[in-house]
Amino acid sequence: MDTLNTALETPAGTGRPKAVAIITARGGSKRIPHKNVRDFCGKPIISYSICAALSSGAFDEVMVSTDEEAIAAVAREYGASVPFLRSAETADDYASTDDVIREVLLAYESRGIYFQRFCCIYPTAPFVTAKKLQTAMALLEEAESVMPVVPFSYPPQRGLILKDGRIRRKYPEFLSARSQDLEKMYHDCGQFYACRTDAFFRDNTTDVEDLLPMPMPEMEVQDIDTEEDWAIAELKYCNMQN
């Protein structure tokens, strides 16, 4: 706790809102065992999120929210704070990211520590960089929340579904439309969310109306839910480094 208090003693009058990076790393991954601390291109995958947050200089505190001591140990090794473990309520399969954020912010407030800004970073986000986090936190001067997004690589209006063993078009009304005439659609990169704390508590989510996009290149975005995803992510990461 001494280290925590020292880290949060920001001199008065600096002008910058106090900010915390919250890295969410629940244990017990079923599809990829020990996913959050598994080796990714030579380092535990969670270390990339920690190092990016620390290097950005955008945060007064970089912390990891976890329910597992093994994850906490790796997090501390790479310089993150783990001032408390998750409750049972936010460590089960049904807790949302917003539930975890709320618990963390309230736990700090109960200790007399208040953050005006936060960035929730996923532990399996090796494409996050210090520069991206700096940009996101700076954008909070223009909007209440920021989300990295990427265009769908194929128009979702042309999506197919399987019904009774046959292919059906989900949106048959777009069958004859040209691809270039279809509205461009994006999806969440699944890497981080930056938000103003007051807006989060007002709406109980980072997905507020005043939500600003941060477009990302497809080569720097990859969901990591399966072994195949993991292999693709490592290939993309190596390409990004080169």
**Full pLDDT tens readout for the chain, 242 residues:** 333 333 344 433 457 899 999 999 999 888 899 999 999 999 999 999 999 999 999 999 999 999 999 999 999 999 999 999 999 999 988 899 999 999 999 999 999 999 999 999 999 999 999 999 999 999 999 999 999 999 999 999 999 999 999 999 999 999 999 999 999 999 999 999 999 999 999 999 999 999 999 999 999 999 999 999 999 999 999 999 88
Question: Which pLDDT score is estimated for 10?
Answer: 41
The packing angle between helices 69-77 and 45-56, to 10°, is 50
Is 182 part of any domain?
no
Strand partners, 14: none
Is 160 part of any domain?
no
Strand partners, 214: 148
Which H or E element spans position 146?
strand 145-151
Is 172 part of any domain?
no
Is 171 part of any domain?
no
Q: Looking at residue 122, which CATH number applies to its domain?
A: 3.90.550.10
pTM exceeding 0.85: yes
Distant-in-sequence, close-in-space partners of 222: CB < 8 Å, separation ≥ 6? 127, 229, 232, 233, 236
Is 229 part of any domain?
yes
Strand partners, 149: 188, 215
Q: Which domain range does residue 36 map to?
A: 2-149+188-241
Is 156 part of any domain?
no
Is 119 part of any domain?
yes
Q: Do the Cβ atoms of 75 and 50 come closer than 8 Å? A: yes
Round to whole Å and give the CA distance between 62 and 49.
10
Query: How many domains, the chain?
Result: 1
Is 192 part of any domain?
yes
Round to whole Å and give the CA distance between 28 and 93.
9
For residue 5, give the 3-state DSSP assignment. helix
